[in-house]
Chain A
Amino acid sequence: MNRTVTILRTGPQALVQDLGRPGNAHLGVPPSGAIDPHSLTLANRLVGNDETAAGLELLLGGAQIHANTSCTVAVTGPSVEVRIDGRLADSHQPVHLPAGATLEIGTPRTGLRTYAAISGGIDVPQELGSRSTDLLSGIGPEPLRDNDVLKLGTPNPANGADVVPPITVLQTLVIPIRLGPRDDWFEDAETQLRQGSWTVSDRGNRVGARLQGTKLNRRDGEIPSEGMITGAVQVPPDGQPVVFLNDHPTTGGYPVIGVVDRDHLRFLGQARPGTRVRFRPID
């Protein structure tokens, strides 16, 4: 018998995400995958899944998941209200959904992206080794729509009860950044980065976090397109930095002043518009 859930309501945006499809950039294929992989892997562990299983990435929560079969669910990411058939339940730990029950996820108090893992994982077909939706190139499943039915894989035996802490997104982020590969396009790149301050713009998405604030002064012109990695901080002619997230283009022609470490990138990926950002250049 097929195990399924129905996504009664998606909220602002609901995507299937796993850890993405890195290793295909030479074909022009972005890495994609969960913007906050830490939260997704924790959710998977709570429900007994492999860390690589596909779950839901929910922008600003707001989703309703109906269990057509008995399953275990864990909601992670920022602190958020979770209800089962209208009754308050716990986030950040495994909760059991009997067949016919509906899980309702509220809007997180801080942060942008909530993750939901379901026992067995979401079983959509893989494309280039991953089930992730890539919003830039259209690889993977379409963004989910209300009433979509999702197949689940075979669940593993439960791990036993456990709890993980919610991710906290601070009002001001101080992000370590490594200079290069094109810091020589900027006069004293290190000082410009250290002294500038920005806020997260509302025009950001899974392709990149756009920052607004201090103009980074750079040389005019463009570089012949070159390979880009996740975390690269590209500076277009207007001097407003764009930090590449998982669905970033594999090549680009604007100079990259520095690269944000993977471990800190998820905080930028979780930062709401208006969050203040400063950079701390490191060696």
Chain B
Amino acid sequence: MLLRRCGTDALIVEVDSLTEVAAVRAVLQGLAGVEELVPAARTVLVKGALQQVREALKDIDLTKAPETHSREITIPVIYDGPDLDLVAEAARTTADEVVKLHTEATYEVAFCGFAPGFAYLTGLPAQLQQPRLDSPRTKVPQGSVGIAGEFTAAYPRSTPGGWRLIGRTEITLFDPKADTPAVLQPGDQVRFVIA
């Protein structure tokens, strides 16, 4: 674990894996005075209360993943994505089997980024861990469910994107006017079900 200074009142905590990121986030979550806590692939950015943060990180056990999940979310998906056959072919299986693999797994929100409410979910079965498209789409429709590398995600709104799309959800993933704007937040447990 490496602490990197980031201006006067923030730190980047650099670790070696998503599991360690989750451990750091869990330890710092809810610490009084912390203004921002932004997990990412190998780092956690923390702003504010740096003395308490350093204290809290002193005897952290990075191997210990958080045991409890704040929330469990289910996302209904219509599995008719334009890349479903491509994904099945790359996984040397059928489209039905891709759907089965995707719905049987349990995921966790590792971090958000790219766009408001865009959650990177870990827990994707190995067969579905596939590269991005050679050429990204200029417009991925809102609600699209895709896979890329070790992650799966649902697009909260229409953006350009290179993920392989296997389906779509009709639920609103991000609504800035709602009391809880983002359906998915770091640490949440997520399952996909057939809509």
Contact = CB atoms under 8 A, between A and B. Distances in A.
Given A125-B177, A139-B176, A229 B41 contact: no
Interface string B23-36: 00000000000011
A224 B43 CA distance: 9
A142 interface: no
Interface in A157-209: 178-182
Interface stretch (B63-71, B75-83, B84-92, B111-119): B111-119
Name, among B6, B11, B36, B181, the residue most crowded by chain A CB atoms within 10 Å (CB to CB): B6
Contacts of A225: 40-41, 113
Contact of A227 (B8, B12, B118): B12
B191 interface: no
Contact of B176 (A127, A182, A251): A127
Interface size class of B (residues with CB under 8 A): 35 or more
Contacts of A181: 4-6, 11-12
A127 B176 CA distance: 5
Contacts of B35: 22-23
Interface stretch (A24-32, A87-95, A115-123): A24-32
A27 B182 contact: yes
Given A28-B114, A229-B36, A180 B4 contact: yes
Interface of B: 4-8, 10-12, 35-45, 47, 111-118, 174, 176-177, 181-182, 185-186
A26 B113 CA distance: 7
A256 B43 CA distance: 14
Nearest to B29: A26
A31 B116 CA distance: 11
A50 B115 CA distance: 31
Nearest to B112: A28
A224 B12 contact: no
B43 A226 contact: yes
Interface string A117-156: 0000000010110000000010110000000000000000
A228 interface: yes
A139 B174 CA distance: 11
